[in-house]
Amino acid sequence: MFRPGDAVMVRTVGPNVFSRTPRWAMGRIGLIKRTWGIWPNPDLVCRGVRDAPGRELHHVFFRVDRHGTVALTADIFEHWLSPAGVIPPSGQGLAQGLLVSGEQSSDLPHDEHLPHDRRSNHDVR
Amino acid sequence: MMSDDEHPSDHDEADAHMGEFCIVGMPPPTAASAEYLSAIGELLIEKGVLAADEIRRKRADIRGRGPHLGAQVVVRAWLDDGFRMRLLFDATTAVRELGIEPLTPSQAKLVALENTTEIHHVVVCTLCSCYPVALLGPAPDWYRSDDYRIRVVTEPKAVLAEFGLRLPSTMRISVSDSTAECRYLVIPRRPVGTEDLAPDELEALVTPESMVGTSEAAAVR
């Protein structure tokens, strides 16, 4: 459903609901950086459901300071995410800070693993 | 390397005083919690969820794990660029080249994060204490503490400074919250002046903290 580079918002739930989605991430907009494949849905596993259906797990990046020098990442299951639309021009720094920089090269062996279309879009802007 | 060494060790002898069950790497249980743990263990065996032998083997496996394994991985990445690439692309597979198997095959995903001159990675589990046990052994107390888990996501620079790590203001910091199936290993930067060191001398510089990102690899004396 989601692809690396997609902007997503993390769902929020009430304080009495247990989830492995961290509270600090709820309500925040982040960018999907990598996708880790399909894993059993922990929200069912924790309730004792055997053979819980798999959900896609995404590595999501959140910028937490104005200058983009501090970022948080968390692995969040797809059903906790909703599309956050196109990143507005004011979010350009966010996208650039997270996708087009040494960050990617530190995480992936080769640049060709970057989503090329997105990289060139940012280069154009 | 990951032998199921079941010869009695000092740890095993210590455990004998706590009853059959204990949590490896945790402080000795109180009498009440030991009783509770034994009851859970016996129930798991009685219900056929686990065999006593499985528990014993798993404990032996965890005891064989420790930061010496992580240090081997880091040093190999420093010395062998091809390995470094494979490690960054798929650490779960790459560490098998060194004979390191995951502790639990179903939760086997390992991710390596490489520190560079531009970005510094630090790892936390804000939910509990998820840690790359297969490579570093049981998590240290500070990693499990509420203080670290709460503060490193809200004021990472201050927390790192308390660990004695002062990063340049231009250095980007990425805090990875280990919330699901992935366990993160930080690859610290290779200290300067280590070109002539042998692999085992390099491994001595790779502290557990440097593989979580709360310090850098030790400097050469």
Rounded Cα gap, residues B187 and B120, in angstroms: 10
CA distance to partner chain B, nearest, from residue A1 (Å): 19
B174 inside 8 A of chain A by CB: yes
Tokens coding B140: 């240290």
Strands B110-114 and B119-124: unpaired
The answer to whether the beta carbons of residues A60 and A32 sit under 8 Å apart is: yes
pLDDT tens across A59-102, in order? 999 988 777 789 999 999 999 999 997 654 444 434 333 333 33
pLDDT tens across B92-104, in order? 999 999 999 888 7
pLDDT tens across A3-35, in order? 999 999 999 988 888 888 999 999 999 999 999
B175 inside 8 A of chain A by CB: yes
Tokens coding A19: 């989830």
Q: Which residues of A touch B88 (CB under 8 A)?
A: 106-109
CB contact under 8 A, B181 and A108: no
CA distance to partner chain B, nearest, from residue A11 (Å): 15
B129 inside 8 A of chain A by CB: no
pTM of this structure: 0.78
pLDDT recorded at residue B114? 98
B130 is catalytic: yes
Q: Give, in order, the Cα–Cα distances in Å from B110 to each of A56, A101, B16, B178.
A: 17, 23, 33, 11
CB contact under 8 A, B179 and A103: no
Q: Which residue of A has its CA nearest to B110?
A: A36
